[in-house]
Amino acid sequence: MLSAKMNRHTVIVEGTLPFRMQRIAAARAGNHGRDIATLPLVAARLAGGFSRPADRAILVPVVAQALAELAFEELEPVKTRPGMARAVIATLARVWAADIRFDDPRYASARLSDLGRIETYLRSHLPMGALLPRDLRDRAIAGAGRARATVGDLHFHRLISIDPLWRPLIAALAAVVQTTWDAPGTRDRSWFPGTILPTAMRPPQDLICDVCADPRAEVVEALRWARELLSDGTTQASDIAITSADLGTWDDHMLVLAADADLPIHFASGVSALSTRAGQACAALADAMINGLSQDRVRRLSLLSPYLSEALPADWMKGIPTEAGLFEPEHWARSLESLSRSDSSSIAATLMPVLRDLEVGPKASVKLGETLLRGKSLGLWQEALRLGPSAAMGMTLASMRIADESDPANNIVWARATELVGAPRQHMRLLGLSSRSWPRRDSADPLLPDHVLSEHDLVDLPGLERDRLAFEILVSHPGSSVMLSRSRRSADGAFLARSALLQRKVTERPRPRTRAPEHAFSEVDRLLARPDDALALPRILSVISCWTDWTRRLEPTPHDGGYRKDHPAVVRALNMPQSATSVRRLLRDPLGFVWLRALAMTAPELAVEPLQFDPVTFGDLVHELLRLAIERIEPTPSLVGATPEEIENALGAAARDIAERWPLTQAVPPRLLWLDTIDEARRRARRGLTIDERFGPGTRSFSEIPFGNPQSPAERSDPWDERQEVVIGQSGIRLKGRIDRVDVKPDRLGVRMSDYKTGTTPRNVRDVILDGGAEVQRALYAITIKQLIPEASTIIARLIYLDTTVPAAGLDGDTLERAEGTLLRFIDIAVEGLRNGVAYPGPDAFAGYNDLRIALPAALDRYQRRKQESFNAAQQRLAPLWAEP
């Protein structure tokens, strides 16, 4: 014990990486008398009395409170701006580091007076034991006489510079204990009262700089370099370091690619909080709290919140439509009430209080965090609240980092250059040596610009000079090999010039993206570098074969849609009941029919709160209004006998029902836009109900009438039995669907079918019959009505466009008969083609509204031009339909 006291000494470092590496070095050497500390920690020990430096987490809320309570001369107009507390702390830190007193007459100004008022407020409101830097320094000087017993001899390990704030303390300590400094670089240290130890430096020779495409490519090359070093069998991961002046540009790429490479990498500056589960739980809560309720946000929160994941059953949302937006607590309450589950009441009791707190927003941030989070996630949430306002929680979380739990002693290190100066390694790679990244340009202090306080007085070592020194020290470190790299372009594509630090003799080595590396950093990189290995994999051969068939062969290939005759999946799809929409796809895009009906390829539906409905959803809204209105009017007073007032009342009741019910089943716009959307839908629905000429007295009108559904439990018989099968053509295709509206005369001899359209009216709507297979509803539903109402002798099939006052476009008599015959003939041809394995893209495959286009080649226009002729030839019997009027 006596020996430990006699050998007591303290090593002063700057940065997390040097701190941890010095502790590891002391442990390996068995040096029990060595203490590792930073200057603020040494000052706190000398000050005694449980003193500690006031860190950022302590200062932020007190500064925010000061800004709210104090009145200022110059800062008053901007004191409520977002981020003001952090800006004030950054400025105060610079002033403290420069050891400038706010009452110094040399710097007298209203701005410094305002900041001095904040400093005084801090001094009186800090927690017990927490001290501002200057106060901590002064107390430490007062206790410097006890330095030999408390800290022992001092050694400043590889610090580039020491702020003026701490120099009086060092002078006081130098009079009591031995003080040494192995100061790297050539900066003037004549002020230092102790001993400057010589630091070995060697002029850098044969430096090589890899010129990469962009920051991601730099990280790829760095990981390849690390893998190459590790492959020699002697180099250890602890011998390797990758660094840059500022990690921000490369950090996300390093995090993702390092995981893919499975290399042992220690992130000295910590990992992004959002890359951890605790951070994601906080992000999910912040998203719902700030941006409002939605089904997606609540689902995500229930999965990540420790409280909700434990309190709710795993399948608690079973029975709630995934398309429902659920943007208000009332929508959730009604949806949970309608759940047919035995535990629905307990789910509501758990969830509804949370949803109502989320509706309050950022004002309930403290309560929400304490309720929904636990452990690390709760600590992270509370730290974010200390660092910034709850309304900016998303930005605060994005900027936060969590200490990497891996040990730098046996890992590759990814660290800032200024930290690596204190813990250099045998092999170092310096990234980002471009004009923008290294050295970085100094920026003026936002609260103390140069005309208020000269930057020369405020900053002892400018950032640009610090970056330059760090570079010189690292490349000149003896016994180390150094590699450099830079990007040609930034992440957003801007051209980057080489750094001014590369003016010395440096050999630049181009590193194109497509080069084959000697040492790949991951399995994917290996396969890209070794085509022979890649070609041995079946999935790679399949991809190459597909690309070749798409881009080089003019004739149709299996990758364009061909398959064997009578494929079971296709036969099964054809045996399923078809709707008018699937018949259209069958005729105009056979390949899309196979993808959708045989392979069940569908685009995901995201319940995002829309500002307006897409055309399909708006059409559904209008159709629903028409259905509900007609059901209220029929059979009394009936549509043909209803007055305009009765029709308007029916539409109003239908609109109110939809306004309450639809938010529970799908995403709807915000309330005001939602009501405006309903009003527009009512206007169009009103036209659909009032456009008609009377079809005759006693006529019954039916809306959204289903047909062809044998499994239907309904016993509805008007105007037909919906369970009766509808089979058409020689191919025996079964039909199933709904007809927008059917008017039936009392004797059932006359039937009028109406198909409502909410889109823009075509110019030649009166001339349209089948429109190349795009308009099949009238002919198809007329065929259906003939089977379901065989006694009907007169059938009128018509299109009604609701956006204008253009008369309905009707088909009847011989024109309708010819359209039916043509349609059935081409349906049989299309079915025969599919059974024979002929299913290639048709006209609709290349249309902008086709959501299956994403499965086609990316260069779609060129693909269409290259293959169109061969597709038409392969489908030569079906192609004439596409020219039909």
> Of the residues 625, 658, 690, which one is the last residue of a structural domain?
690
> Of the residues 348, 376, 402, which one is the last residue of a structural domain?
402
Q: Are strands 130-131 and 412-416 parallel, antiparallel or unpaired?
A: unpaired
Can you give the pLDDT at residue 530?
85
> What CA–CA distances, in Å, run from 472 to 185, 459, 496, 659?
7, 21, 21, 69
Residue 17 contacts residue 408 (beta carbons within 8 Å) = yes
Can you give the pLDDT at residue 716?
63
Is residue 624 helix, strand or coil? helix
Average pLDDT of each block of 10 consecutive residues along the chain (885 residues)? 58 91 88 88 89 87 89 86 85 90 85 91 90 92 89 91 92 92 83 86 82 92 93 90 91 90 90 91 93 88 90 84 81 82 81 91 91 92 84 87 89 93 93 88 83 82 88 89 92 88 84 87 86 86 89 88 89 93 93 91 69 85 90 83 86 89 82 88 88 76 88 73 90 92 90 87 84 91 93 90 83 91 94 92 88 86 90 91 90
First to last CA, the chain: 103
Q: What's the rounded Cα separation, in Å, for the pair 150 and 47?
A: 10
| Amino acid, single-letter form, for residue 487 | S
Q: What's the rounded Cα separation, in Å, for the pair 721 and 715?
A: 7
- 429 forms beta bridges with 242, 483
Residue 254 lies in a domain: yes
24 and 165 fall within a common domain? yes
Q: Which two tokens stand for residue 247?
A: 């990690």
Please count the structural domains in the chain: 5
Q: What's the rounded Cα separation, in Å, for the pair 388 and 659?
A: 39
Task: Of 204, 262, 828, 787, give the one whose Cα is nearest residue 523.
Answer: 262
Q: Which two tokens stand for residue 12?
A: 């002063």
Q: Which residues lie below 8 Å from residue 514, measured CB to CB, with a gap of 6+?
A: none
Q: Which residues lie below 8 Å from residue 2, measured CB to CB, with a gap of 6+?
A: none
Q: What's the rounded Cα separation, in Å, for the pair 390 and 521?
A: 41
> Of the residues 144, 161, 196, which one is the last residue of a structural domain?
196
61 and 108 fall within a common domain? yes
Can you give the pLDDT at residue 714?
66
Q: What's the rounded Cα separation, in Å, for the pair 741 and 705?
A: 7
710 and 770 fall within a common domain? yes
596 and 737 fall within a common domain? yes
Q: What's the rounded Cα separation, in Å, for the pair 475 and 204?
A: 6
Task: Of 622, 689, 625, 619, give the one whose Cα is nearest residue 652.
Answer: 625
501 and 362 fall within a common domain? no
Residue 546 lies in a domain: no
User: Residue 734, exposed/middle/buried by CB under 10 A (0-12, 13-18, 19+)?
Assistant: middle
582 and 720 fall within a common domain? yes
Is residue 800 helix, strand or coil? strand
Can you give the pLDDT at residue 4?
41
Q: Is the dihedral of CA 427, 430, 431, 433 positive or negative?
A: negative
Ranges of beta strands (E only) in 715-760 are 726-728, 733-735, 737-744, 750-757
> What CA–CA distances, in Å, run from 807 to 423, 697, 870?
83, 22, 41
600 and 615 fall within a common domain? no
- 649 forms beta bridges with none
Q: What's the rounded Cα separation, in Å, for the pair 435 and 590?
A: 56
| Prediction pTM value | 0.77
6 and 71 fall within a common domain? yes
Task: Of 773, 725, 718, give the one whose Cα is nearest residue 751.
Answer: 718
Q: Give the strands of the sheet with 195-196, arranged side by side.
A: 34-37, 9-12, 153-157, 179-182, 195-196
222 and 168 fall within a common domain? no
> What CA–CA distances, in Å, run from 649 to 32, 633, 689?
90, 10, 12
Q: Which residues lie below 8 Å from residue 680, measured CB to CB, with a gap of 6+?
A: none
Residue 522 lies in a domain: no
Q: Which residues lie below 8 Å from residue 598, measured CB to CB, with a gap of 6+?
A: 567, 569, 570, 572, 573
Residue 525 lies in a domain: no
Residue 516 lies in a domain: no
Is residue 361 helix, strand or coil? coil
493 and 591 fall within a common domain? no
Residue 785 lies in a domain: yes
Residue 523 lies in a domain: no
Q: What's the rounded Cα separation, in Å, for the pair 885 and 876?
A: 18
Q: What's the rounded Cα separation, in Å, for the pair 474 and 478?
A: 9
Q: What's the rounded Cα separation, in Å, for the pair 287 and 439?
A: 37
Q: What's the rounded Cα separation, in Å, for the pair 644 and 648?
A: 6
63 and 168 fall within a common domain? yes
> What CA–CA distances, in Å, run from 795 to 673, 719, 729, 816?
40, 14, 19, 9
Q: How many CA atoms lie within 13 A of 636 on its CB side?
A: 0
Residue 509 contacts residue 211 (beta carbons within 8 Å) = yes
Residue 234 contacts residue 508 (beta carbons within 8 Å) = no
Which domain, by its residues, includes 358?
Answer: 274-402
Q: What's the rounded Cα separation, in Å, for the pair 825 and 833?
A: 13
159 and 214 fall within a common domain? no
Q: What is the DSSP letter of 760?
A: P
Q: Which two tokens stand for residue 357?
A: 């707190």
Residue 531 lies in a domain: no
Is residue 847 helix, strand or coil? coil
Task: Determine if the peptide bond prior to 635 is cis (ω within 30°).
Answer: yes
Q: What are phi and psi for residue 438, nearest 5 degrees?
A: -155, 110
User: Residue 704, exposed/middle/buried by CB under 10 A (0-12, 13-18, 19+)?
Assistant: middle
